Structure 1
Amino acid sequence: MSSVFHPEGNQKIIERINSLTPITHNEWGTMNVSQMLVHCQMPIKVAFGEMKIKAGFITSFFAKFIKKSFTGNAPLRRDLPTAKEFVIKGHPDFEESKAVLVQMISKFAEEGPDCIKNRKHPYFGELNNEEWGHLHWKHLDHHLKQFGA
């Protein structure tokens, strides 16, 4: 299973991010490339304990039933809703957004699972290290595919 904690998987994600340009177009969805780079930072900030989001009861209830689809090997669907806290408006600076995301992803490989400060995922509850590493890799992979990277 691919993981942001594994140096090889981590480096491949960073290489794909570095292949993006400010004019890279999406293949689906409504985000521009800069918005996507910032959007991808949000779940990492939650894991690092730098951002808090609270899931509603109904979301939390149903999330437990779909946890395996997010932590397993099947790719994420293109039409999944996003948490309102992760919706990015405007036009973030591309180079700054890219640099911050690469730095955050590098932290996963440098520090390993110790970088996860919020051990309880807001939707899926307790995740083990393998689930955390794969979930973040999978989310990043999903959005990089969205932009052809």
Structure 2
Amino acid sequence: MKSFFEKTSYQELQERLEQITENSKANWGKMNGAQMFNHCQAPIKIALNKSDVTMKSNWFIKMLFKKMMYSPKPYKKNAPTPPQFRSTGNFEFQKEKAELQKWMDELWADRNNDNREPHPVFGHFTKEQWGIMNWKHLNHHFEQFGV
């Protein structure tokens, strides 16, 4: 499984990000490109402990979904998004793209961190799991936009 923390995988994500333009259309889902960029920032901020999103931990949700977060199985198209992570507003494409790039750069710079705070819903993840989850989420949405 690829990881955000592997140099070649990170570089691939960078290249794919650059290929998404204002004219790129989603192959599924309701988000436009700017909304997708905004949405993709949230999990990265959580990994960096810089998120202000509040969520309740639920043992059932944790048991049901935690392993799916970093398993090799791709996320399903049109899977429901928790309300805290929905990006439905009007966002400026270039600004959100630059913000996502900034957060990606910050997480890359912090890639050797072995002591991340627990995820607010799913609890502790290893460094390897954080890397897989972040790659998997970005890959899912970049594929959504055809790259």
Fold conserved between structures, TM > 0.5? yes
Hey, what's the Cα distance between the residues in 2 that align with 1:57 and 1:49?
Answer: 16
Hey, what's the Cα distance between the residues in 1 that align with 2:85 and 2:64?
Answer: 22
Question: Does the alignment pair 1:142 with 2:132?
Answer: no
- 1:131 maps to a residue whose letter is Q
Task: State the identity as a percent.
Answer: 33
1:129 positional shift: 0.2
> Could you say which residue in structure 1 is the equivalent of 2:38?
38
1:111 positional shift: 2.6
> Could you say which residue in structure 1 is the equivalent of 2:117?
119
- 2:104 maps to a residue whose letter is I
Hey, what's the Cα distance between the residues in 2 that align with 1:130 and 1:101?
Answer: 21
| Conserved 8 A contact 1:34-1:94 | yes
> Could you say which residue in structure 1 is the equivalent of 2:23?
23
- 1:36 maps to a residue whose letter is M
TM-score, scaled relative to structure 2 = 0.90
Measured against aligned partners, the alpha-carbon deviations of 1:52-80 in whole angstroms (never above 9, x if no partner) come to 3333354x422223222221111001132
> Could you say which residue in structure 2 is the equivalent of 1:79?
78
1:125 positional shift: 1.0
- 2:7 maps to a residue whose letter is P
> Could you say which residue in structure 1 is the equivalent of 2:6?
6
Measured against aligned partners, the alpha-carbon deviations of 1:28-56 in whole angstroms (never above 9, x if no partner) come to 00000110001000111122122133333
Q: Number of matched residues?
A: 147
Hey, what's the Cα distance between the residues in 2 that align with 1:106 and 1:39?
Answer: 16
Structure 1: 4+ residue segments shifted above 6 A? none
- 2:85 maps to a residue whose letter is F
User: Structure 2: 5+ residue runs without aligned partners?
Assistant: none
Hey, what's the Cα distance between the residues in 1 that align with 2:121 and 2:97?
Answer: 26
1:4 positional shift: 1.1
Hey, what's the Cα distance between the residues in 1 that align with 2:69 and 2:145?
Answer: 20
Over the residues paired in the alignment, what is the CA RMSD in angstroms?
Answer: 1.8
1:121 positional shift: 1.0
Moved more, 26-35 or 77-86: 77-86
TM-score, scaled relative to structure 1 = 0.89
> Could you say which residue in structure 2 is the equivalent of 1:107?
106
Match 1:131 to one of 107, 129, 132: 129
Hey, what's the Cα distance between the residues in 2 that align with 1:112 and 1:53?
Answer: 22
